[in-house]
Structure 1
Amino acid sequence: MTITKIEPVSKTRFQIFLDGKPAFCLYKGELSRYHLVPGAFLEEEAYQKICEEVLVKRAKLRAMHLLNQMGRTEQQLKDKLIRGGYPEEVAEAALCYVKSFGYVNDLEYARSFILGRKSRKSAKEMQAALREKGVSLEVIEEAMEECCDGDAAQEAIRELLRKRRYDPDTASPEETRKTLAYLMRKGFRYDDVRQVIQVSEWNA
């Protein structure tokens, strides 16, 4: 691997490019320690040494800091580390480290996410949001099964109807059609929507 460029990202931190691609970041003193200069050839052994001695340790600390800020899925944490300048294999090592202590757990994340939103979101909306965060469908389905009872969808529908100030006893046919369409677009099942709208005691 050839060091094609060393570019400053701050006064003390530098991005190292290998074979024309951004590879990792080091501080000024570390450039000297590992004799990194543009145009030099970096042996695989030297690259692995930098990863083990510097980058993995730093990535573990960074991962812990990110998790202290807020809960994240495994994919979110890995992506954040890679965007921060860590090689993918280094990000993977840091992820394995925090997972070993239970600091990141997609099933727990999904459970918490669903419990905090099931009263106002449809199962379809929650599933889509979790998929965007990198949670596997298998984990999502397990969490949904654990956290959503049969009444969760209907309670979420009732909450949305309250916010829209929809009253099935006084609503016009046109208002009911629009409300039905709105809830269907949100991902609720037709049968659940119809059952709630037809029960006049929903807001009791």
Structure 2
Amino acid sequence: MTVTDLVELDKKRCKVYLDGEFAFVLYKGELRDHGIKQNAEVDDESYRAITEELLPKRATKRAMNLLQKKDYTEKKLRDKLAEGMYSDECIDAAIEYVKSYRYLDDERFARDYIVYHMEMRSKNRIVHDLMDKGISKELTERLMLEIYEDEADVDVEQEQIKKLLVKKHYDKDMEFKDKQKIIAFLLRRGYSMDSVRRALDE
């Protein structure tokens, strides 16, 4: 393989192209260590050392650093690592490592998210939010059945809607167009028309 191009990514890193195709990103010190320079040949041993040792370790370290700062779903962590231009193989290795120590756990993430937001957001909004983060609808709905069952004595969504109606100064005698604005606001929040009507009737 021949180094056909080196493109500076920033002051510390370069994109390396081998045989005309993007291969990986290396720090400038690593370029020197592995003899990567314009038009130079890269032997199999150096290529394996970079792609099977150096970069997977770096991707794993990056994943660990990200998870120390906040929780991620697997999808969002994969997206974040992909931004660093790691190969799919490096990303898979990093994900496998952090999952093996349960630093990454989609079920735990979803459970915590539901518990934290259930008093403020509609069920539909929570399902939509978690799907955007890469959590399956099936897992979300299973966890919601379990978590909301613990709150069976209280209709969480009805309580939320009533609080929002107070906040919006809802009055049964207000003009029709003002009522419609409030209803539209609640529907945008993810509440069903049936839930909104029930709250309005009460």
Q: TM over 0.5: same fold?
A: yes
> Is residue 155 of structure 1 aligned with residue 159 of structure 2?
yes
> Is residue 119 of structure 1 aligned with residue 122 of structure 2?
no
Look up the match of 1:95. 95
Separation of aligned partners in 1, 2:64 and 2:136? 23
Contact 1:118 1:156 in 2 (8 A): no
Unaligned runs of 5+ in 1: 200-204
Contact 1:13 1:28 in 2 (8 A): yes
Look up the match of 1:185. 188
Paired residues for 1:29-40 under 5 Å:
29-40=29-40
User: Deviations 1:99-150 (Å, cap 9, x if unpaired)?
Assistant: 1111111111111212222222222222121111112222222222223345
> Is residue 174 of structure 1 aligned with residue 182 of structure 2?
no
Separation of aligned partners in 2, 1:63 and 1:41? 31
User: Relative to structure 1, is the Cα distance of residues 153 and 43 closer, same or farther in structure 2, using a 3 angstrom cutoff?
Assistant: farther
TM-score by length of 1: 0.84
Look up the match of 1:73. 73
Separation of aligned partners in 2, 1:47 and 1:164? 63
What percentage of residue pairs aligned between the two structures are identical?
39
SS in 1 for 2:5: strand
Which sits farther off after the overlay, 41-50 or 13-22? 41-50
Paired residues for 1:52-67 under 5 Å:
52-67=52-67
RMSD: 2.3
Look up the match of 1:27. 27
Separation of aligned partners in 2, 1:109 and 1:19? 42
Pairs aligned (count): 198
Q: Which amino acid aligns with 1:196?
A: A
